[in-house]
Structures are given as C-alpha cells and as structure tokens.
Amino acid sequence: MTYTTLSPVVPLTKKVKSEKMPVRFFNVVSLFSGAGGLDLGLEMAGYSTRACVEIDPVFRETMRRNRPDWNPLDDFDGDVTCITSDLLLERAGLAKGQVDLLVGGPPCQSFSNMGNRKGVNDARGRLFRDYLRLVYEIRPLGIIFENVEGIKQHGVLDELQKELEAMGYKVKCETVIAADYGVPQKRKRVIVLGCLGVEPRFPKPTHSRFGDVPETKRWVTVGEAFKKITVQDLLRPDCLGMNHSLEMVNRMKMVPPGGNFHDLPKKHLPDCWKSGKHQGQDTFGRLKLNEPSITIRTSGYNPTKGRYIHPTENRGLNTLEMAALQSFPKDFVFVGNLKSVGVQIGNAVPPLLARAIGEAMKPCLVEARLMLH
C-alpha cells in the first residue's frame, strides 16, 4: 500500500489555519487509546495529549473522568477508519506538521496467541493501515506503535517500516520487557519508534532481574506493588473482583505459590482440565510475592484464565491489583463493569514503560524539530 496514492479525504468546512496555531513541543495525538495507559506514561514524561481516538464509549468515559483535557473524540463513535486528519487536528488544536508524537496500539486480537491469529485477514488486523494513513496525513515528528509479539508473524512490521521510511521516518523496532522499566510484570511487547530524519532511541533498562546489571535496580515484585494498596482503597467502587464458588475457593487452597492446576488432585479437576490439552502452564496458577507477575491480560481477575490467583489469599485478583501490576497511578479511576475494566487494564501499555519510551524520544524530537525549522 502506498500512501502517496491515498484517495483524498473530504475536508471539514472549517479548516485549521497553520499560522494561528502555536508550535508546542511534546504534544501527542493518540489512536486506539483504550483507557490511556500510553498517554499516562507520556504525561509523566512531560508530554501533553491533545486528542484521543477510541471506539469504546466506556473507555472514553474513563479518560474523561481522569483527564478531560485529553479530548477523546465522540465523532463517528470513535471509529478510526472514519476519522479524517482534518477533524483530528481540529480537535487537537494543531495543524499538519505541528504534532510531535502520533501514538497508538491497534487491537491485538488478530495477532495474539490468545486471539484468532487471523492477522490481516481480520478487519481489526488491518487497522494499522489507518494508523499509517494518519501518519501520512498529519506528518508528526515522531511515532510510537505498540503491539503483541505475535504481530511479528504477519508481515505487518515489514509493511510498517517500509511505509514509514518512504515517508521520511527513520524506524527502529524492539521487543521490550515491562519489568525492565519498573513495571511489576514480565510483559513483553513489540514497540516501533519512528522519527523524521533522526534515528529514534530506545530507553536503557532501569531494572534487571537481580539488579546486578550496572545502573539498574532489581525488578519490582508483586509484593511491592500490592503493599501500596490500602484497606481504604479496597472500598473504591472501581475495585471489582469475581465472586468465586466454594468449590473454586477449595481448589485455590490446594495451589501453592508458583503452582497451577497441575497441583490439584485429579478428582478435583473439572473434566475440561483433566487432559491438559487446552491449558497453558499458567492456568489456575498462583502468583509469587517475590517476583513480577506474568502478563496481565484482560481477564486477569479470573484464575481459570492464567496465573491470576492472589499470592496469599484464595481468590482471583481484583481490578486495583491488576492496575497496580500494570503500574497505573493509584488515583486513576476506571469506569465500567468488571469485564470492561478488565479489558481497559489488560489492553493498556503500562504507564511506566510508556514514560521510559517518552523520555528516550525527547532528544530525537528536539533534533527533528530543529532540522525542520
């Protein structure tokens, strides 16, 4: 796909006039924003999110509850395929060439090992092309693109790099581990960075498994993350969790720290677990207090979906614990029911990881701005 031959979009009747717009360093336009984990981290690094595109209205309400100035768009119900660059720039109060960062992580279900793995044969798997379309039309100084490791298998990264380089961006792609940046979670994600005419830089890890790498601290553990949650916090209306049956609680009692469904006597296993064919090694597992957690997915409150049994209690994780393991600030409030909040947390870029990436991108953006002006 060549973006120089894109069909022209229909402009708004009211155009943004470039000469009237102030040039601001470190502003952000955000696509596929979810609950705003990536934007929160960039905010920590000194960026200002000017507009967000998110298709789920409940997720947009979460952003409005916490950061109304992020300006989540309700136009076209937040459908990125219908959003024009003119509209997005108008809402952001910016003109073409004045956006510092265009960021986002398109839906991962088409690429995830836990999803349908249809890749670009699924409509969601082709949404990265709308990301590219808006990069071409908006021409930001830099881009951040995030997704699951499974995206490596579908040719998407090659297409991304080819198209971005054709637009004048220098591109780097790496798989990062969130725990290396202070997140209490061993989450792996593919990050693509691009900058106009300037080589982008990835942040150096600030943490390592044992803290024995120079200039790093030891990985943050589940226990350290949970210590920050008070009894008062547990009374919050957005602290949600599953109601487990007595049978389920009794099963959890048999699982030791670090153990999983294999530790259950066969007579206590549901029929669907007895063969083990459809279960991963994390199914019905108990977290360890002295290690980071596994990847927090959208159903991180449900022990049957992974290693999501509380380290010391016989229950699944609650949403505040999930958010803590994703490094969300404790004062960030989620809107929605258990399933919706689980998706908002599980799909998010951990804010502390985003902060590190944002800090690393700053000198590249400054250099690119100076080159262009």
Supply 300's token pair. Answer: 């991180």
The two tokens of residue 254 are 């048999």
CA distance 86 to 75: 12
How sure is the predictor about 152, in pLDDT bands with cuts at 50, 70 and 90?
A: confident
Residues 160 and 268 in one domain: no
Into how many domains does the chain fold?
2
Same domain, 91 and 206: yes
Q: Residues 38, 155: one domain? A: yes
Rg of the chain over Cα atoms, rounded to whole angstroms, equals 21
Least confident of 19-23, 72-76, 288-292, 347-351: 19-23
The catalytic residues are 108
DSSP string computed for 200-220 = --PPPPSEESSS-STT-EEPP
Q: Let me know if residue 334 belongs to a domain.
A: yes
Alpha helices by DSSP H, listed for 75-148, are 85-92, 128-138
Q: 337 and 360, same structural domain?
A: no
pLDDT score of 11 more than 70: no
Task: For residue 35, tell me if it sits in a domain.
Answer: yes
Confidence of residue 277 (pLDDT cuts 50, 70, 90): low
The answer to whether 325 and 296 have CB atoms below 8 angstroms apart is yes
Mean pLDDT of the chain: 89
**C-alpha 325: how far from chain center:** 13
Same-domain pairing of 342 and 355: no
User: Among residues 350, 370, 369, which one has the least CA distance to residue 358?
Assistant: 350
Q: The domain spanning residue 169 has which CATH number?
A: 3.40.50.150
Question: Bridge partners of 195?
Answer: 142, 170
Is 361 inside a domain boundary?
yes
Q: Which residue in 323, 312, 303 sits closest to 228, CA to CA? A: 323
258 & 226 share domain: yes
For residue 7, name the pLDDT band (cuts at 50, 70, 90).
Answer: very low
Residues 70 and 205 in one domain: yes
Quick check: is 216 in a domain? no
Residue 217 lies in a domain: no
The reply to whether 134 and 174 lie within a common domain is: yes
Domain residue limits at 259: 222-346
226: in domain: yes
- Note whether residue 356 is domain-resident: yes
**Alpha-carbon distance 34 to 269, whole Å?**
36
Task: Give 252-272 pLDDT, tens digit per residue.
Answer: 999 999 999 999 998 888 887
Average pLDDT over residues 358-363: 97
Q: What's the mean pLDDT in 164-169?
A: 97
Assess whether 198 and 249 both reside in one domain. Answer: no
DSSP 8-state symbol, 350: P
Same domain? For 105 and 164 the reply is yes
CATH of the domain at 329: 3.90.120.10
Q: Are residues 95 and 147 located together in one domain of the fold?
A: yes
| One domain, residues 139 and 46 | yes
Judge whether 315 and 241 are in contact, CB under 8 Å: yes
Q: Following CA atoms 149, 292, 231, 236 in sequence, which dihedral angle do they give, to the nearest 10 degrees? A: -10
The band of 1, judged by pLDDT with boundaries at 50, 70 and 90, is low
- If pLDDT is split at 50, 70 and 90, which confidence band does 116 have? very low
